[in-house]
């Protein structure tokens, strides 16, 4: 028995089949799990002195990942004196210009040791 309305005089109770209740709850959980979408983070690694064709391939991959609904993390690794130039930020702004309308910025480009990272997600 389950108490439906304890404030009523006399209190209202209902006879419940516990096995049926448990089965319905299991079905609800399965339905909710089926409808959820798992978002994955895809990482694209680039270098500051990237060639045009390599750049186009990375843009194409990023568009594919964004169209699938995944987040994209761009990682740029620097060597030696490459960190002194402003190549990283200019390359990341170039990526954002080419992906304009498809994405929104989750985290702006920021340095982390010898790496610069930026995270974008589908618009």
- pLDDT tens-digit series, residues 10-45: 888 888 888 998 999 999 999 988 888 778 899 999
Instruction: Give the C-alpha separation, 118 to 41, whole Å.
Output: 12
Q: What is the pLDDT of residue 14?
A: 86
**Strands annotated E in 1-123:** 2-5, 12-14, 41-46, 71-77, 103-112, 115-122
Locate the domains of the chain by residue range: 2-35, 41-122
DSSP SS3 for 97: helix
pLDDT in tens, 42-83: 999 999 989 999 999 999 999 999 998 899 999 999 998 888
Instruction: Give the C-alpha separation, 89 to 3, whole Å.
Output: 64
Residue appearing with tokens 């990682």 = 75
CATH of domain 41-122: 3.30.110.10
Residue 4's CB: how many other CB atoms inside 10 A?
11
Cα dihedral: 33, 34, 35, 37 (round 10): 80
* CB of 77 closer than 8 Å to CB of 87: no
Q: Which two tokens stand for residue 103?
A: 């994405």
């Amino acid at each position: 028995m389950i108490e439906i309305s304890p404030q009523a005089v006399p209190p209202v109770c209902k006879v419940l089949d516990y096995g049926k209740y448990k089965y319905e709850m299991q079905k609800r959980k399965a339905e909710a799990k089926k409808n959820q979408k798992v978002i994955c983070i895809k990482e694209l690694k680039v270098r500051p002195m990237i060639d045009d064709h390599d750049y186009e391939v990375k843009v194409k991959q990023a568009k594919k990942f964004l169209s699938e609904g995944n987040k994209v993390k761009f990682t740029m690794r620097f060597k030696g004196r490459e960190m002194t130039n402003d190549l990283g930020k200019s390359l990341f702004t170039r990526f954002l210009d080419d992906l304009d309308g498809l994405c929104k910025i989750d985290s702006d480009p920021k340095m982390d040791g010898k790496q610069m990272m930026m995270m974008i997600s589908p618009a």
